[in-house]
Structure 1
């Protein structure tokens, strides 16, 4: 883990700094990409080889493979004056070559051990390909599913987001960052990126400090506390100053208040983008960023091309440049690169560590554990391995849409389609396929989505012909499974949507299939919560599978045919319509709360045309079995400051299948000095119960769980009454109260 004490610097780094010219120090602050892979921005660096030789590059990304990385590393080590090795970065967001579910899907497993295993696998594979620094985890809180990058988050909740951030950092970094199978983690996007106004990517963010500290900052702090080696700035502004040049954010909060001693990198050209924000020319914004606490400039080369001039003009000091350079060099030292620049470049490792049978098995398990059963009309699921099954839908045999957004290191050609998975798992059933519809019939929309290749294919066959083929198949089948939803790039970066319903082409298909009178199962694939009130009212079963990764088809079949009982729970609230957004479980009560039965009353906080409640609450998810909660009790009725309290509940599996349940604990601070949320997640535990089994589950509330940031941003707990709720989702009904003295 990251262990440098700011007061006890590394002697080897200090000795190197004394040898470096000012220009060489500035060179270490420059992060470039030579191109050739999937770009994560519009700019690709030029003359990279010459700049490495001149000592003008601190790190690269977009290059992978032991042989390719060795060429770059040898340029730095053998041909630059001081031979300083390069950091080699990559966006390993949800698996490297063995891709697993998008982060929003993975978080729905509520299984921190599995998440840690996922990160460890990704680290093993990425380091086998020469990568030593990962631009992950993304820990932004998002409460607006219009924002495409909600797919990369753990959802809306700061408590769950903090646990997820910690698990991923520890999974990537392990206990020794110099080990050949561990990566430097990079926490992003610091900060508040998930709160972009109107759900539009890169847009402004404006919120109070109280909201920041209580609801949006906790996952970043949890990642820093877990030892994250680096932090990436966000594109948005905070209190009117873009994050990349925000001294309050990067120095006062991150370094001084939180004690972070790693290094800070900009996001892709976010330093240069401060010009468009209105903060000055490239020299001005580069000076602003350095003084704010930015250490490394990704791709934009503002530091490289302007800092020497700013130094000559007295606008920056050599000490400021040296401090930034020191932090970059310390990361290289901790990674073991000074000891052995080629430690990650074993040409035998890719075959041994990447896309192994064991890795694919874990990806399959991760996917199955991420799925959320939203509805199971007439207990349609699981299906039997028999009879004639019509597998219909534009995503049922679409290999290119299985990995999900932000899988630049994955290869969709290796993905298992749903059709293949069904045939693998249900070998005794007669499975027939028809496409049924296009993902969208709009060629202009498809063009926007298909930037990285065909994700939406608008067939030459007419929509009517596609539908007729599907209906003919459905009418001769025993059951229909239709795989519908979003193409991969309908969510993700620069993929905001004002309409997050299922596209009309697929809506028409779903209604027509239901009208055949056959049992219909919807397998719903998306990178975000969708608005599905019409589909939810239909007599169908609905299984939400996100974008599951390379083992997508096998994992979906495992759940549909009952080899695994779904246990996922939503980590973001599903709205009835976009007019409810932002919508989340820990909202405040207001001074004029609507009636709990949601009966409309004038002059209360409600809508004329919709209930306040979401379609599906945070924490929601069904199982093939049923669970009964009873006998909620506390070990104390009154506690003092600094004391813990234990909450115990009895859970019984009352259905016909073995199954896992996520027991969730929510807390309400009844009276405090600033308005409290109606309830907040403060604990959870995932348990396995055999059919007919009963267990007692105890969740402990620790002193910090009762604390909040008050109006002066002190982290405090205040005496008074607290109400505990325990149940299967955020609408949990069992409750008890206790008093904090």
Structure 2
């Protein structure tokens, strides 16, 4: 039996074994995403796919309808993947899941005023449990930005201005998301937005952030370091901004030097939506999308979201002909595969419909969450 099919082996060993068996087409599929529900999805998943957004679920009337949509997509992905690699499904999670009947929570700035780490962990548990019930295992939360400029329109997502509050509550939210499992599935938290996003010039979204290294690490990096060290954070999303003149998504000193080498992060870095292509289209760096894509992947961005744009066919050709170092791709694929084995997706690619799908049959205080669901 192939080692990657042996569930008694570690996720890393299974990922290494599977990686050695894959073609470049399969590898490129694992570092990309696709908008599910559009006509071109069949072409996007012709070699499988790394992950799929689930924002469409908000439009369904019932949970069973949403689950059927999710599992039908997974069946199509597996049918097209030569090694039957399941897709990861991702969704926002800061204020709850975008799912019919799911619990809605106050924004981060309100929860920061609670000064209640245990409450924050329980909120994370509920969000994780509700999303896992529909097979969603990559949760785009918590927001660990430090906000000290009220002109920034996304201030409400943050826990506020204090890095200690953000570090404490963000770590507990991460534990709530990651430290439980049901139906064989575990979820990864994706903390965002790395790093110094809210220190952008003029409080403008995605503008350059002139932030000295000490301030960057001790203030804006503290909550990320805490989540990594204290909660074993497994996902990070870079910010849209340029940090001291260099786009975060293409910054190797930031995404590898600081995040991985100094902070000790060992999980998956996923792009903020269109942030990889923005390096070329908006921030006007490099001569082509594929060149920007190569720099972002080399910097440490393991997955382009929400669809394939810069991690494209032209970049694949560079890996094939040796113009680009294949080890850059291999590192990104390995991290994505390891996360899928860790989540339990290979053993449980589909979700069993049961009573947990009726969120309303559990009486949860929507603000205080005094008693987490039993399962």
TM-aligned CA deviation for residue 149 of structure 1: 0.9
What whole-Å deviation, never above 9, does each CA across 1:551-607 have from its counterpart, x for those lacking one?
xxxxxxxxxxxxxxxxxxxxxxxxxxxxxxxxxxxxxxxxxxxxxxxxxxxxxxxxx
- Whether 2:201 is the aligned partner of 1:197: answer yes
User: What do residues 189-245 of structure 1 show as CA deviations (whole Å, max 9, x unaligned)?
Assistant: 111111121112122111100111121110111122211111111100112110110
Paired residue secondary structure (1:213): helix
Cα drift, residue 175 of structure 1 = 5.0
Distance 1:211 1:306 in 2: 39
1:88 aligned onto 2:96: no
- The structure in which a higher percent of residues are helix is 2
Secondary structure of the 1:316 match is coil
- C-alpha deviation, 1:34, in angstroms: 2.2
1:365 aligned to 2:365? no
Instruction: Identify the match of residue 48 of structure 1 among 41, 47, 59.
Output: 41
Residue 349 of structure 1 deviates from its aligned partner by: 4.3
In structure 2, how many angstroms separate the alpha carbons of the residues matched to 1:308 and 1:90?
A: 27
Q: 2:333 aligns to what? A: 325
Structure 1 gaps, min length 5: 1-7, 36-44, 368-741
Residues 372-416 of structure 1: CA deviation (Å, up to 9, x unaligned):
xxxxxxxxxxxxxxxxxxxxxxxxxxxxxxxxxxxxxxxxxxxxx
Residue 239 of structure 1 is matched in structure 2 by 244
Choose the corresponding residue for 1:166, options 171, 174, 177: 171
Q: C-alpha displacement at 1:321, in angstroms?
A: 0.6
Q: Quote the Cα distance in structure 2 between the aligned partners of 1:82 and 1:256.
A: 32
Contact 2:11/2:341, CA 8 A, preserved across alignment: no
Q: 2:295 aligns with which of 256, 273, 288?
A: 288
Distance 1:265 1:279 in 2: 20
Alpha-carbon distance in structure 2 between the residues aligned to 1:289 and 1:197: 23
What secondary structure, in the 3-state scheme, does the structure 2 residue paired with 1:256 have? helix
Aligned residue pair count: 344
Q: Distance in 2 between matches of 1:162 and 1:219?
A: 4
Query: 1:265 aligns to what?
Result: 270
The aligned residue for residue 59 of structure 1 is 51
Separation (CA, whole Å) in 2 of partners of 1:266 and 1:81: 26
Partner of 1:277: 283
Question: What is the CA deviation profile of residues 446-497 of structure 1, one whole-angstrom value per residue up to 9, with x for unaligned ones?
Answer: xxxxxxxxxxxxxxxxxxxxxxxxxxxxxxxxxxxxxxxxxxxxxxxxxxxx
Q: 4+ runs of 1 displaced by more than 3 Å?
A: 175-180, 312-315, 349-352
SS of the residue aligned with 1:207?
A: coil
Q: Distance in 2 between matches of 1:289 and 1:245?
A: 4
Deviation for aligned residue 1:135? 0.5
Corresponding position: 1:107 with 2:112: yes
2:258 and 2:182 map into 1 onto residues whose CA distance is 25
How has the CA–CA distance of structure 1 residues 196 and 149 changed in structure 2, closer, same or farther, with 3 Å as cutoff? same
Q: Normalising to structure 1: TM-score of the pair?
A: 0.45
2:77 matched to which residue of 1? 76
Does structure 1 retain, via aligned residues, the 8 Å contact 2:106–2:367? no
* CA distance in 2 between partners of 1:12 and 1:70 (Å): 24
- Secondary structure at the counterpart of residue 272 of structure 1: helix
Which of 22, 33, 36 is the equivalent residue of 1:34?
36
Question: CA 1:284 to 1:351, structure 2 compared with 1: closer, same or farther past 3 Å?
Answer: closer
Contact 2:188 2:234 in 1 (8 A): yes
Q: Is the 8 A contact 1:100 1:366 kept in 2?
A: no
User: 1:19 aligned to 2:24?
Assistant: no
C-alpha displacement of 1:355: 3.6
Which of residues 162, 172, 191 in structure 2 aligns to 1:157?
Answer: 162
Partner of 2:306: 299
Q: Secondary structure at the match of 1:60?
A: strand
TM-score, structure 2 normalization: 0.87
Asked if 2 retains the 8 angstrom alpha-carbon contact of 1:283 and 1:310, the reply is no
Where do 1:117-516 residues align within 5 Å?
Answer: 117-174=122-179, 179-180=184-185, 182-225=186-229, 226-275=231-280, 276-280=282-286, 281-301=288-308, 302-312=310-320, 314-342=322-350, 345-352=351-358, 354-359=359-364, 361=365, 363-365=366-368
- Deviation per CA, 1:607-656: give whole Å up to 9, x if none: xxxxxxxxxxxxxxxxxxxxxxxxxxxxxxxxxxxxxxxxxxxxxxxxxx
Q: Equivalences for 1:525-540 in 2 at 5 Å?
A: none
Task: Tell me if structure 2 keeps the 8 A contact 1:271–1:300.
Answer: no
Q: Structure 1 residues 111 and 195, CA, compared in 2 at 3 Å: closer, same or farther?
A: same
Bigger Rg, structure 1 or 2: 1
C-alpha displacement of 1:11: 2.2
C-alpha deviation, 1:51, in angstroms: 2.2
> How far did 1:314 drift?
3.8
Q: Return the offset for 1:312.
A: 4.4
Cα distance, 1:325 vs. partner? 0.2
Q: Compared with structure 1, are the counterparts of its residues 351 and 178 closer, same or farther at alpha carbon in structure 2 (3 Å cutoff)?
A: closer
Distance 1:92 1:364 in 2: 15
Q: Distance in 2 between matches of 1:213 and 1:177?
A: 36
Shift of 1:21: 0.3
Q: Quick one: structure 1 residues 256 and 61, their matched pair in 2 at CA, closer, same or farther if it must change by over 3 Å?
A: same
Separation in structure 2 between the aligned mates of residue 349 and residue 200 of structure 1, nearest angstrom: 45
Say if 2:119 and 2:368, in contact at 8 Å, map to a contact too.
no
Conserved 8 A contact 1:119-1:171: yes
CA contact (8 A) 2:48 2:85 kept: no
Shift in Å at residue 176 of structure 1? 5.4
- What CA distance in whole angstroms lies between the structure 1 residues aligned with 2:284 and 2:47? 32
- 2:5 is matched with which residue? none
Higher strand share: 1
Instruction: Report SS of the residue matched to 1:364.
Output: coil
C-alpha distance in structure 1 between counterparts of 2:357 and 2:302, whole Å: 35
Compute the displacement of 1:177 (Å): 8.8
Contact 2:53/2:91 (8 A) holds in 1: yes
